[in-house]
Each structure stands twice: as structure tokens, then as C-alpha cells.
């Protein structure tokens, strides 16, 4: 790596000359734009960025990023990226995936990447549908949903991606929305600052096969009633007039109206650094209950777990310090040998 | 047992050229350790040798039952050894089940040592025997020695105050001690091994050493054996030797390859029999900077290796048939993105789970063709345990030079079998030049070296080389996504031409035996031993026979077609239903005949001889 001062990058430096092949109106455009805006600000040489994807609409992402990029096979991006990151811990590796790629065919790699805490940033575009194969239900589709492969409605209970990630003890878990540009960029920057695995669910609209999937959250009027923005150290308040809050009652969350004796001091104060996954898990299940808003922002950012690639490199250094650097001739002659004389 | 007071008796010692000995017992009886200790001892003495470990897939089937029988066969000789031996001169059977499963391979008048204490009614029932073979004269054709192995071991160890279970676990060393006496071998090597193995438990050092010495002294003291044997050292080529198994040789070969290439070795692997020892072995070489990644599954194992190769490491993955099937899609990706990768398939019996611990050669067509669409991959096959070392180097060299995934087809027999191996000097190892593209001037990710058709290895972190690769069809030269019909055909042909160009690395074949004549044997992989032995004996009878053993199965040697034409008949022995023979018939339009054995066991020399004679009749 050079020690010369970093060039001043702009968004343009991260755009490619390739024709973008997403449908007009696809939420992916907004996410691409946010990423291209954030990368120049991270203080990382462009050649050190690698964007790795699997298969699906979202996975075309690397072709549109002027960085190193690898469009791999369905579901396997976390495994390819793990090999890359372990071999080259100095690289800044981002994985782009979708709800089918990450949670269905690639579910196994996702959870194992998270438990190992490999230093990868994962952008999981959740549109609750299979887009590239033209409209089958996905592992995040709501039960009963009628799709091309389920004309009578799905019979599958869906995954809640952040619950799954927290269950795998992910050290950084966040959620943002394709159209909340400012929030999305801030969330990406926070993920970039995290050392271990960062799993970001980005609620993304597929205007062809599952339009309006997140409409209750994104419609301008409804937004503040149905979304609670998590901010570290601040109470959980939401509502158009910021008149509602979330309170902890035993092991349950409850929605309370502010006033009538209920003040901000009674509300749950968000602590993204809480080492217990149980707290973040509670947040990740919030919107499943009637009357509750959907939390966005960083649910969990626990920095005390070492990165996988560092643990591996440290172990190699330790062994080399103890046993000395390997000597091939000695290796070949190890154990019992005998000489046959002429 | 007091042994010191008994003076050594005058006993006959007979010089023999060779011997085959098999230890068999319950899988909890330590037969693999016993066999490998005997092997090391005869190797250190200077015999040539070959081994055949044969163990069940179950870790511990119920003790004393037929499925639980584990065996280890050693053929050692003062002349060249090609096979572990068709039949055995001495059989050590620790229980009735082991006797039942192995007796058929004992030569008439062969030595048969059994543990008398394990031939009770219950033991016989577990082995599904109705009569006691020690009493019904069914073993009269052999030299039967019934030894109270359990009782004698307990007596030898009684001072140590150990429980019976622990003591009984030492009885394999009593048997080993007997064999050392029988074949006039020193116990020193095994004592050194015991001292190292149990160094944290001194009482077990004592127990195993005492048991072995008791077995040795038992033979010395009793009149049981009137004769002992001496197999003089073999006249091997001068040099320094060690004993080596195929899996160890593969692991060391990859370490050597990464050292010669000057890049990090990355192994992505998921445990699977009989390939796991490659993972075990490489995980001990952290001092060489080796990264071993025990992945969550076979797919992550190969895809992580692809990721590491993308990063500029020597990416490898090791597996067996079922894992190979799971890696198929990722192999196609490696073909498309043209990154170096080595995949070791240590073949076992199939289909599906099949025979996890037994050998087979039935993954050849899978390796050659088992992917969607046109996805050619070079395939190499080692022919002996020691050859695995050289194959690892060759596969790595080709993968890097041609930017291509390479498959190595080893098998269970090579993986666990051992032979004396002349240790090469570092100067004997091939160079493996690596060139990472650095120059952004006119850089194109799919431009090609005119000689090899390899694309540049342009690794992340190189300024100015930012580019995108992927499994989707690419435009020639630029690597951009491209669906044009003529571009696709061009790319398919380019990928095929690149693999075909590897033929320039493949030496012309020179048949062993007769350069032309009545019969040509064409084979590959672990069948080298029995074929070499059979070739020698059949040529001595006056037949004009040649033998080609293919190390490169794709691409095939340039002159193979011409050589096939020099013989009247072609025989292709394989441990499958006829896979290489199908390739040869299709490619060269020759009337090659298959000879197929699918029993999870290597060919015997006699089987090949019989087939040769049948063909020449």
C-alpha cells in the first residue's frame, strides 16, 4: 500500500461506464447512489475496495461500482468474501445480497460469517420477493402472500432477518430504507466504522413484482407513525408529534403515549453497545406486534469481539514466534528417516 | 511372567525375500496403530513396503461384531514392492469376527495368531459363528498359534495398578511385540513412539512398553514358534527416505508449492473421509503461514478458496465424492472467472455416502465432465502415495500458469496407504513463477497470454486495476457482461483452448515393458502397483505387453493415440464400471477392453495376471 496522500474522491470516481440494467423505478438505484456517495468519504484508497455479490437483482451491484468487484454464485458471496478477507485483511470488503440470496440459498453462509465476525459489510436488500426469477415468494414474504409460485398464498412463515442475524450473534446489526437517503448514508458510514461483521437490512422496493411492500413506512404521512429511529443514548420516541414512546416493562416492550404523567424519563433509552444480544433481539421483533413502529438505525454495535481474520493472523504469528518460520527442508525430513547408501 | 530367567533357545531363523502380515481386530483394538508401528519399523530397517489399512466407516461398531472389524496389512520385502500383497503370510486375529472376515486371505500353511481369551461363546455369537473354529479342525490348513493375549497382557501389567479396561487396551502391543520377534525386528522405534505419544501419561508409556516387551519375551521363552524370519533390507536407490502416506504427501506438496510460488497457502475444507487428514496435516503448518479454514460446508470450502485465490493466495480445497458433487457449481465459477484453484478429490466408494472408508476410482467422469455446460478442467491423478507430493506441485503450477482450476483425483488407498519415499532436495522441486499484474496501462482483465491463453492475475489492492469479474458471460478481453451469441461461442472455445494448451506441459508417454506387441495396459491412479507387478510376471512368461499409467487425464498426452495403435489389444483395468475406457474409445476410436473391480478394494496382482492371460488366449 502506498503512503502517499489519498486522492480526493468524488461520487463519480466510484461509478462505472456500464449500462445499469435494473428496472426503472427500482429501489436499487437509490442504494447504489448512497453507496457511491459514502465510499469517497471513508478515507480508503479506491483499489482497496472490493464489492462481492451472489445472484439476484441486487447482486448486479458490483458491475456498477468502480472498485474491484466479484459477482459470484447464488448465496455464496459471504464464503467467497471470507476467503478473500482472511487472505487479505487490509482490504475493505462489502457484500451485496438480497433476501433470497442471503436468507434462503445462502442462509448457512450468512449465519456462519456472522458468528465468526469476519470483517465484512453486508448490504441485504430486502424486497420480500424474488425479482430476477420473476416473482416467486422469498423467505421474508409475509405468510399467505399470493405470488407466481403460490397462487393460493404462501404456507411458509417468514424469517425476520435482523432477528436471525442477532441470533447468530452478529456484532453489528442495522436497518435502513432505500428512499431514506440521508439515514441510509449515515447507517452505511456507521457500518464502515465497525470492525467486525456488519449486517444491514435495507428495505427496498421492487416496483415490478412487489410494489408498495414497505409503503406503510415510506409514505410521507405515515412515516413518523410507523417508524422509530434508533439513536444511541436517546429515548425511543416516535409519532408525527413525537408524542409516543417505547417503554420496557419486564421482558416486554410497550407503546406509551407521552403526557399524563409519562415522560421521556420513563422511556427505553437506546444502547447499541449493549453486549447482550437479547436487547437487540427485542428491538428486532418490535414491528411484528400490532401498534408498534418499525425500528430503523443501528440495533446493535458491539465492538469488543475480535475480527476473524485478525484472530487467524495472530495465531499464525504466535505459532511462528514459538516454532520459528517454517523450513521446507526440515518439513520434508520430519519424523523417522533412514539413509540408503550406494 | 518371569522371562529373564529363561535362557534364549536355539531357534531356526529363515531368510525370506518378502512377507505380508495383517493385523485385524475390533475397531477399538488399535489395529491401525499396531500396523503403522510395524510399518515404520520395517521401513526404518530398509525394506521396501506397501500398506493397506482397511477400517470400517463406523467409529466403534459394537465390539466383537463383524461390521466392527478393522485391519492393517503390510507387505515388506528385500526387493521392489508394488502392492500390499494378494494374500498374507501371517494373520493376527484379535477376535472371532476378525478371523471370520480375514481368514480367506491367509495363505495355506500361513501363520495364524489368535487371542484365545476372546473365543468364548459370546464372542463367537457376536461373530455369528456356530462352532468354535479353534476346536473343529477348520483351521488345520494353517499354522495356528492360540495365545492368551488378554491374560498374558494383564499378567505383564499387574504391577502398574491399572484397571482392566486400560490394561486390555495394551494387548495390541503384546501382539506387536510377538511380530517383532517373529520377524527379528527391533522394538526401539516403537518405544520412542510410545514415549512421545504418551509423554503426558508416564504410566501408559510403561504399560504399552511392558506389553510389547512381554509379547516379544513370550516368543523368546516359549516353544510356540520354532522358526523366525529375516527379511533383509531392500536395495532401494541411494538417498534419504521416509515413510509417507498419500494424504501427508499431498499436504506437504501444497506447502512446497506455496513456498516455491512465494504466496500464501489457503485451504478451505469440510471434514470428510478419507480426505480429512489433508486438513489435519495442513492445520499443523501454521509456521509456514498456511491458512486452514474449516468451512461450514463443502460449498463454502471451495468458494472461500476461490475468494483466497482472487486475493492472490494459492487457494486449494480437499474433499471426497459427495463433497465433490456439492462443489460442482463453484467449479464452474472458477472456470468462468479463470482463477487458479486446486481441488483434491480423495475418491471413495459411492454413489451417495457409499463406502466412506473404501477406495474406488469412479469420480473420473465427474471430474472430467460433471458440471453444467462447457466447463473443461485439467485433471491429474497420482499413482502412489509418494507421487501425491509431486502431483500437488504439478497441479499448483498448472493452476497458476494457466489461471485455471485443476482437479487432483487421489483415492482412499493412496490416501491411507504408505510407502518409503526418497526425500527430494529443494533443488529438485519445480519453479512456480507467479506474476501479479501491476501495470494499469491498457489493462484488460480478459486479455490473454498468447502461449498459455491465461488471463492476468490482477488482485484487489492494486491501484488502477479496479475491474469486475463474475460467473455471468463476459465479453472477450474487457470482461464486461455480454450476452452476444458469437461472443459466447468465442469464450467457450477460448476456455477449452486454454485447457487444451496445457498439453504442452504433459510429457509424451513411454510405455513400461514392451514398446509394441500383443497387449497394452492403460490405467491411472492407484492401480499402478498391481499392474506393474503383473506386467513383470506376465512378460517373464514371454508375452509382449506394454503399460501406460496416465498422470494427466485431461488433457491426455499428445502421443497417446499413436502409442495405442502399436498393440494388438488394449486393456483398461479400473476400480469403476469403465470410465477411462469410455474416454479412450470415444477419443481414439479403439477397441479398448475394460476390466472392472468395484469392491472397495485395490486390484490384486493375480487378478490382473489372470485377465491378461484371458485377453491373450
Which three-class secondary structure state does DSSP give residue B71?
strand
CB contact, 8 Å: B271 with chain A?
no
**Is residue A229 domain-shared with residue A275, that is, in the same domain?**
yes
At residue B467's C-alpha, the angle toward residues B400 and A200, to 5°, is 110
Nearest-by-Cβ selection for A86 from B259, B293, B423: B293
**Is residue A204 domain-shared with residue A283, that is, in the same domain?**
no
Q: Check residue B3 and give its pLDDT.
A: 42
Q: Check residue B6 and give its pLDDT.
A: 45
**Is residue A126 domain-shared with residue A269, that is, in the same domain?**
no
Q: How far apart are CA B285 and CA B277, in angstroms?
A: 13
CB contact, 8 Å: B427 with chain A?
no
CATH architecture of B512-616: 3-Layer(aba) Sandwich (3.40)
8 Å CB contact of B310 and A18: no
Q: How far apart are CA B521 and CA B564, in angstroms?
A: 9
8 Å CB contact of A52 and B307: yes
Exposed/middle/buried for residue B178 (C-beta within 10 Å: 0-12, 13-18, 19+): buried
Residue A284 · residue A163 · CB < 8 Å: yes
Residues 217-276 of A with CB under 8 A from B: none
Tell me the three cell numbers of residue A240: 408525527
Question: Which residues belong to CATH 3.40.920.10 in chain B?
Answer: 12-230
CB contact, 8 Å: A312 with chain B?
yes
Q: How far apart are CA B458 and CA B439, in angstroms?
A: 9
Q: Check residue A5 and give its pLDDT.
A: 83
Closest CA to A189 of A43, A71, A8: A43
Q: Check residue A220 and give its pLDDT.
A: 79
At residue B552's C-alpha, the angle toward residues B547 and B557, to 5°, is 70
Average pLDDT, chain B: 95
Nearest-by-Cβ selection for B333 from A66, A72, A324: A72
Closest CA to A119 of A7, A44, A13: A44
Tell me the three cell numbers of residue A98: 438480497
A142 in a structural domain: yes
Q: Check residue B355 and give its pLDDT.
A: 95
Contacts of B425 in chain A (CB under 8 A): 329
8 Å CB contact of B239 and A45: no
8 Å CB contact of B285 and A108: no
User: What is the phi-psi region of residue A314: left when phi exceeds 0, alpha when psi lies from -120 to 50, beta otherwise?
Assistant: alpha
β partners of residue B410: B346
Mean pLDDT of A303-327: 97
Q: Check residue A336 and give its pLDDT.
A: 85
Q: A120: domain CATH number? A: 3.40.50.970
Q: How far apart are CA B617 and CA B615, in angstroms?
A: 6
**What phi, psi does B305 have (nearest 5°)?**
-65, -35
Q: How far apart are CA B197 and CA B190, in angstroms?
A: 10
Q: Which residues make Cβ contacts (< 8 Å) with residue A41, sequence separation at least 6?
A: A189
At residue B105's C-alpha, the angle toward residues B104 and B107, to 5°, is 105
CB contact, 8 Å: B464 with chain A?
yes
Residue B297 · residue B314 · CB < 8 Å: no
**Is residue A194 domain-shared with residue A274, that is, in the same domain?**
no
Q: How far apart are CA B353 and CA B58, in angstroms?
A: 13
Residue A127 · residue A210 · CB < 8 Å: yes
Tell me the three cell numbers of residue B50: 506397501
Nearest-by-Cβ selection for A323 from B43, B287, B305: B287
What's the whole-model pTM score?
Answer: 0.94
Q: Check residue A188 and give its pLDDT.
A: 98
Number of C-beta neighbours around residue B281 at 10 A: 22
DSSP B168-236: HTTHHHHHHHHHHHHTT--SHHHHHHHHHHTTT-HHHHHHHHHHHHHHHHHHHHSSS-SEEEE-PPP-P
**What phi, psi does A292 have (nearest 5°)?**
-95, 145
Q: Does the pLDDT at position B421 exceed 90?
A: yes
**What phi, psi does B477 have (nearest 5°)?**
75, -60
**Is residue A125 domain-shared with residue A70, that is, in the same domain?**
yes
**Cα–chain-centroid distance for residue B514?**
28
Q: Which residues make Cβ contacts (< 8 Å) with residue B466, sequence separation at least 6?
A: A46, A47, A49, A66, A67, A68, A69
For residue range A193-231, list pLDDT tens digits in order.
999 999 999 999 999 999 999 999 998 777 789 999 999
Q: Does the pLDDT at position A279 exceed 50?
A: yes
For residue range B320-366, list pLDDT tens digits in order.
999 999 999 999 999 999 999 999 999 999 999 999 999 999 999 99
CB contact, 8 Å: B340 with chain A?
no
Q: Which residues make Cβ contacts (< 8 Å) with residue A223, sequence separation at least 6?
A: A217
β partners of residue B439: none
For residue range A24-66, list pLDDT tens digits in order.
999 999 999 999 999 999 999 999 999 999 999 999 999 999 9
Q: How far apart are CA B575 and CA B601, in angstroms?
A: 8
**Is residue A174 domain-shared with residue A289, that is, in the same domain?**
no
CB contact, 8 Å: B259 with chain A?
yes
8 Å CB contact of A328 and B333: no
Order of strands across the sheet with B418-422? Answer: A337-340, B239-245, B418-422
Q: Please give the residue of chain B at the shortest CA–CA distance from A7.
A: B463
Residue A326 · residue B255 · CB < 8 Å: yes
Q: How far apart are CA B318 and CA B297, in angstroms?
A: 12
Contacts of B480 in chain A (CB under 8 A): 18, 63
Number of C-beta neighbours around residue B534 at 10 A: 27
Q: Please give the residue of chain B at the shortest CA–CA distance from A2.
A: B463
At residue B75's C-alpha, the angle toward residues B72 and B76, to 5°, is 130
**Is residue A44 domain-shared with residue A121, that is, in the same domain?**
yes
Cα-only R_g, chain B: 27
Question: Which residues belong to CATH 3.40.50.970 in chain B?
Answer: 242-428
β partners of residue B111: B90, B143
Helix axes B149-156, B171-182, angle to 10 degrees: 100
Q: Check residue B263 and give its pLDDT.
A: 98
CB contact, 8 Å: B296 with chain A?
yes
Element housing B22 (H / E): strand B18-26
The pLDDT-based confidence of B8 (bands split at 50, 70, 90) is low
Mean pLDDT of B72-89: 95
8 Å CB contact of B240 and A339: yes
Closest CA to B36 of B204, B230, B197, B219: B197
Average pLDDT, chain A: 96
Q: What percent of chain B has a predicted confidence (pLDDT) above 90? A: 94
CB contact, 8 Å: A45 with chain B?
yes
Q: Does the pLDDT at position B4 exceed 50?
A: no
Which three-class secondary structure state does DSSP give residue B457?
strand
A340 in a structural domain: no
Q: How far apart are CA A163 and CA A172, in angstroms?
A: 12
Q: Does the pLDDT at position B60 exceed 80?
A: no
Residue B25 · residue B174 · CB < 8 Å: no
Question: Which residues belong to CATH 3.40.50.920 in chain B?
Answer: 512-616
Mean pLDDT of B65-91: 95
Nearest-by-Cβ selection for B463 from A47, A326, A337: A47
CATH 3.40.1130.10 is held by the domain B242-428 = no
Tell me the three cell numbers of residue A323: 516454532
Number of C-beta neighbours around residue A151 at 10 A: 7
A310 in a structural domain: no
8 Å CB contact of B255 and A331: yes
Mean pLDDT of B295-312: 98
Q: How far apart are CA B256 and CA A331, in angstroms?
A: 9
Q: Check residue B9 and give its pLDDT.
A: 54
Contacts of B426 in chain A (CB under 8 A): 328-329
CB contact, 8 Å: B241 with chain A?
yes
8 Å CB contact of B243 and A340: no
Mean pLDDT of B253-272: 98
Q: Does the pLDDT at position B2 exceed 70?
A: no
User: Testing the interface with A: which of B232, B249, B287 to mutate, by most A Cβ within 10 A?
Assistant: B287
Output b/e per residue, A291-322; b: 16+ Cβ within 10 A: ebbbbbbbbbbbeebebbbeebeeebeebeee
For residue range A124-151, list pLDDT tens digits in order.
999 999 999 999 999 999 999 999 999 9
A255 in a structural domain: yes
Contacts of B185 in chain A (CB under 8 A): none
Q: How far apart are CA B576 and CA A163, in angstroms?
A: 49
Q: Which domain holds residue A279?
A: 225-296
Number of C-beta neighbours around residue B586 at 10 A: 9
Closest CA to A100 of A64, A70, A65, A75: A75
8 Å CB contact of B44 and A68: no
8 Å CB contact of A88 and B299: no
Distance (Å) from the alpha carbon of A202 to chain B's nearest alpha carbon: 23
Any idea which residue has 536407490 for its cell?
B237
Q: How far apart are CA A320 and CA B421, in angstroms?
A: 28
Q: Which residues make Cβ contacts (< 8 Å) with residue B343, sequence separation at least 6?
A: B302, B316, B317, B318, B319, B324, B327, B331, B405, B406, B407, B408
**What phi, psi does B318 have (nearest 5°)?**
-125, 140
Any idea which residue has 459363528 for its cell?
B129
Q: How far apart are CA B106 and CA B98, in angstroms?
A: 12
Last residue of a domain, one of A213, A239, A268: A213
- Structural domains of chain A, count: 2
A319 in a structural domain: no
Contacts of B293 in chain A (CB under 8 A): 82-83, 86
> Per CATH, which fold does B12-230 belong to?
Pyruvate-ferredoxin Oxidoreductase; domain 3 (3.40.920)
Tell me the three cell numbers of residue B452: 498459455
For residue range B457-488, list pLDDT tens digits in order.
999 999 999 999 999 999 999 999 999 999 99
Residues 92-151 of A with CB under 8 A from B: 108-109, 112
**Is residue A41 domain-shared with residue A65, that is, in the same domain?**
yes
Residue B415 · residue B246 · CB < 8 Å: yes
**Is residue A123 domain-shared with residue A264, that is, in the same domain?**
no
Q: Please give the residue of chain B at the shortest CA–CA distance from A53.
A: B470
Q: Check residue B10 and give its pLDDT.
A: 65
Characterize the bridge pairing of strands A120-126 and B143-147.
unpaired
**Is residue A73 domain-shared with residue A116, that is, in the same domain?**
yes
Amino acid at each position: 500500500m502506498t503512503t502517499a496522500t489519498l486522492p480526493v474522491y468524488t461520487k463519480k470516481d466510484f461509478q462505472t461506464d456500464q449500462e445499469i440494467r435494473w428496472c426503472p423505478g427500482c429501489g436499487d438505484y437509490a442504494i447504489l447512489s448512497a453507496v457511491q456517495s459514502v465510499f469517497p468519504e471513508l478515507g480508503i484508497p479506491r483499489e482497496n475496495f472490493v464489492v462481492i455479490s451472489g445472484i439476484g437483482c441486487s447482486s448486479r451491484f458490483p458491475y456498477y461500482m468502480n472498485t474491484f468487484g466479484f459477482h459470484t454464485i447464488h448465496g455464496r458471496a459471504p464464503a467467497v468474501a471470507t476467503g478473500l478477507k482472511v487472505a487479505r485483511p487490509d482490504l475493505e470488503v462489502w457484500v451485496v445480497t438480497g433476501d433470497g440470496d442471503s436468507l434462503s440459498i445462502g442462509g448457512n453462509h450468512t449465519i456462519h460469517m456472522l458468528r465468526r465476525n469476519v470483517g465484512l459489510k453486508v448490504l441485504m436488500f430486502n424486497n420480500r420477493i424474488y425479482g430476477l426469477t420473476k416473482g416467486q415468494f422469498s423467505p421474508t414474504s409475509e405468510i399467505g402472500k399470493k405470488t407466481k409460485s403460490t397462487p393460493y398464498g404462501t404456507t411458509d412463515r417468514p424469517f425476520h432477518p435482523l432477528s436471525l442475524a442477532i441470533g447468530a450473534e452478529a456484532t453489528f446489526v442495522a436497518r435502513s430504507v432505500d428512499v431514506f437517503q440521508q439515514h441510509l448514508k449515515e447507517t452505511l458510514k456507521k457500518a464502515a466504522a465497525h470492525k467486525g461483521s456488519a449486517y444491514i437490512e435495507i428495505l427496498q422496493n421492487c416496483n415490478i413484482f412487489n410494489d408498495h411492500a414497505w409503503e406503510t413506512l415510506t409514505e410521507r404521512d405515515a412515516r413518523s407513525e410507523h417508524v422509530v429511529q434508533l439513536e444511541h443514548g436517546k429515548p425511543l420516541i416516535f409519532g408525527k408529534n413525537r408524542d409516543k414512546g417505547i417503554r420496557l416493562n419486564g421482558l416486554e416492550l410497550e407503546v406509551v403515549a407521552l403526557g399524563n404523567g409519562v415522560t421521556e424519563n420513563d422511556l427505553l433509552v437506546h444502547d447499541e453497545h449493549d453486549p447482550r444480544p437479547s436487547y437487540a433481539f427485542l428491538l428486532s421483533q418490535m414491528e411484528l406486534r400490532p401498534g408498534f413502529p418499525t425500528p430503523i438505525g443501528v440495533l446493535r454495535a458491539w465492538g469488543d469481539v475480535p475480527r476473524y481474520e485478525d484472530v487467524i493472523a495472530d495465531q499464525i504469528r504466535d505459532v511462528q514466534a514459538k516454532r520459528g518460520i517454517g523450513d521446507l527442508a526440515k518439513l520434508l525430513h520430519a519424523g523417522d528417516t533412514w539413509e540408503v547408501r550406494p | 511372567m518371569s522371562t529373564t530367567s529363561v535362557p534364549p533357545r536355539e531357534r531356526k531363523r529363515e531368510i525370506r525375500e518378502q512377507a505380508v502380515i495383517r493385523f485385524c481386530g475390533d475397531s477399538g483394538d488399535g489395529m491401525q496403530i499396531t500396523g503403522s508401528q510395524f510399518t515404520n519399523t520395517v521401513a526404518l530397517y530398509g525394506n521396501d513396503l506397501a500398506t493397506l489399512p482397511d477400517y470400517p466407516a463406523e467409529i466403534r461398531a459394537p465390539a466383537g461384531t463383524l461390521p466392527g472389524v478393522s485391519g492393517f496389512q503390510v507387505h515388506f520385502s528385500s526387493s521392489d514392492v508394488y502392492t500390499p500383497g494378494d494374500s498374507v503370510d501371517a494373520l493376527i486375529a484379535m477376535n472371532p469376527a476378525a478371523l471370520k472376515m480375514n481368514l480367506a486371505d491367509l495363505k495355506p500353511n500361513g501363520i495364524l495368531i489368535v487371542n484365545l481369551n476372546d473365543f468364548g461363546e459370546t464372542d463367537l455369537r457376536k461373530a455369528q459363528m456356530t462352532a468354535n473354529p479353534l476346536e473343529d479342525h477348520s483351521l488345520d490348513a494353517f499354522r495356528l498359534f492360540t495365545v492368551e493375549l488378554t491374560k498374558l497382557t494383564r499378567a505383564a501389567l499387574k504391577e502398574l495398578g491399572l484397571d482392566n479396561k486400560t490394561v486390555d487396551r495394551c494387548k495390541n502391543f503384546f501382539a506387536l511385540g510377538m511380530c517383532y520377534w517373529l520377524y527379528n525386528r527391533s522394538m526401539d522405534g516403537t518405544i520412542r513412539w510410545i514415549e512421545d505419544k504418551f509423554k503426558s501419561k508416564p504410566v501408559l508409556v510403561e504399560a504399552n512398553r511392558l506389553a510389547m516387551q512381554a509379547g516379544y519375551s513370550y516368543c523368546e521363552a516359549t516353544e510356540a514358534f520354532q522358526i523366525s524370519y529375516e527379511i533383509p533390507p531392500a536395495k532401494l536407490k541411494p538417498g534419504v527416505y521416509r515413510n509417507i502416506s498419500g494424504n501427508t504427501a499431498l499436504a506437504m506438496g501444497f506447502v512446497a508449492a506455496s513456498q516455491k510460488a512465494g504466496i500464501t497457502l489457503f485451504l478451505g475444507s469440510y471434514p470428510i473421509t478419507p480426505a480429512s487428514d489433508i486438513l489435519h496435516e495442513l492445520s499443523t503448518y501454521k509456521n509456514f503461514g498456511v491458512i486452514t479454514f474449516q468451512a461450514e460446508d463443502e460449498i463454502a470450502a471451495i468458494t472461500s478458496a476461490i475468494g483466497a485465490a482472487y486475493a492472490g493466495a494459492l487457494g486449494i480445497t480437499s474433499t471426497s465424492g459427495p463433497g465433490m458433487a456439492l462443489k460442482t457449481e463453484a467449479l464452474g465459477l472458477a472456470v468462468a472467472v479463470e482463477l487458479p484453484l486446486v481441488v483434491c478429490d480423495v475418491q471413495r466408494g459411492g454413489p451417495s455416502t457409499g463406502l466412506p472408508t473404501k477406495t474406488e476410482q469412479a469420480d473420473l467422469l465427474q471430474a472430467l465432465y460433471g458440471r453444467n455446460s462447457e466447463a473443461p478442467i485439467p485433471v491429474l491423478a497420482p499413482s502412489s502415495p509418494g507421487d501425491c507430493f509431486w502431483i500437488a506441485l504439478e497441479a499448483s503450477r498448472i493452476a497458476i500458469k494457466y489461471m485455471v482450476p485443476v482437479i487432483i483425483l487421489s483415492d482412499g488407498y493412496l490416501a491411507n496407504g504408505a510407502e518409503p519415499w526418497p526425500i527430494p532436495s529443494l533443488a529438485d522441486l519445480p519453479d512456480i513463477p507467479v506474476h501479479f499484474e501491476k501495470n494499469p496501462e491498457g489493462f484488460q482483465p480478459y486479455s490473454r497470454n498468447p502461449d498459455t491463453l491465461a488471463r492476468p492475475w490482477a488482485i484487489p489492492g492494486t491501484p488502477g486495476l479496479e475491474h469486475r469479474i463474475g460467473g455471468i458471460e463476459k465479453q472477450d478481453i474487457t470482461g464486461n457482461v455480454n450476452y452476444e451469441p458469437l461472443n459466447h461461442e468465442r469464450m467457450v472455445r477460448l476456455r477449452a483452448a486454454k485447457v487444451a494448451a496445457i498439453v504442452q506441459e504433459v510429457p509424451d508417454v513411454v510405455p513400461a515393458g514392451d514398446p509394441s506387441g500383443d497387449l497394452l495396459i492403460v490405467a491411472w491412479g492407484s492401480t499402478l502397483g498391481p499392474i506393474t507387478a503383473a506386467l513383470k510376471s506376465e512378460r517373464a512368461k514371454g508375452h509382449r505387453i506394454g503399460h501406460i499409467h496416465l498422470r494427466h487425464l485431461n488433457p491426455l498426452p499428445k502421443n497417446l493415440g499413436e502409442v495405442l495403435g502399436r498393440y494388438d489389444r488394449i486393456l483398461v483395468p479400473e476400480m469403476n464400471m469403465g470410465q477411462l475406457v469410455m474416454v479412450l474409445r470415444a477419443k481414439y476410436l479403439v477397441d479398448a477392453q475394460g476390466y472392472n473391480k468395484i469392491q472397495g478394494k485395490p486390484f490384486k496382482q493375480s487378478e490382473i495376471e489372470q485377465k491378461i492371460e484371458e485377453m491373450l488366449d
